[in-house]
Structure 1
Amino acid sequence: MTERKGWLIGELSDRVGVSAHTIRYYERLRLLEPSKRTESGYRIYSEENEERLRFIQKAKRFGLSLDEIKQLITIRTKGTPPCASLKIMVKQHLDDLDHKIEEMVSLRRELASRYEEIDRLLSDSSTPTSEEIFRGKICGLIESID
């Protein structure tokens, strides 16, 4: 019986903290080199596979998508350090995040303003709402907004 070098998918999964399903998915996406197989067909994963999985996990902490991670891996595979590409990707993520934050702050201001109006109109929850104030098919507070 020959001794195997490496880990079965469940063992690698435990070592890295990534599900076996995710490992197979990364293989399908070509983020991970296809594993070798035992004579009985079980996947055997190497230290390089473990290192790659750890790289993917760390790269995801930078906010990178799997496509971006694949780009970095491809650049490195061609012999070039991908750090300049990483800088561009992270800067783009920062810019996108700043834009989303601005949108969220604006939305919060708008919602706070609308809430204040609703709260003013409904200040006494024991009083039934007046159809004159809340004209609309469902809720005039929503339908009256331009």
Structure 2
Amino acid sequence: MIDIPDQISTAWIAAASAAFLAKHFLADFLFQTDWMAAGKDRPEGWLAPLAAHSGVHGAMTAALFLAVSPPLAWLGLADAAVHGVIDRMKSLAARRMQVTPRQAGFWRLFGADQALHHLTHVGLAILFAAAGSAG
């Protein structure tokens, strides 16, 4: 069980939020290869590139928790799973809607995808800050 106190340090919340924003930028934009980006959206053969991309997210989340609260490093697996589901759902919706980056619908999906990832990170940042505040 993860204990979340009634009060969490503002400094820890700020640091955790910044850490997860940086993690997301690195994993989603700098560390995502062309193979991952194109492969995860294919109708077939998408699992390996999506797993690799989601694995990068999970590994980085696990590394953050290892630095503050090693028993919570398993949240990296949860982050990887949630990230993979969100990305796959976006891919399926884009294919069903037949949208491309030249259409507003694509950018709406992209925005929803990013918002869901950041919402995931809000939850992770709270857990991270709670663990840091307790220590």
Name the larger-Rg structure.
1
As a proportion of its length, which structure holds more helix?
Answer: 2
TM over 0.5: no
Considering Cα pairs closer than 8 Å and 6+ residues apart, tell me whether 1 or 2 has the greater RCO: 2
Q: TM-score range by the shorter chain?
A: 0.3 to 0.5
Normalised by the length of structure 1, the TM-score is 0.31
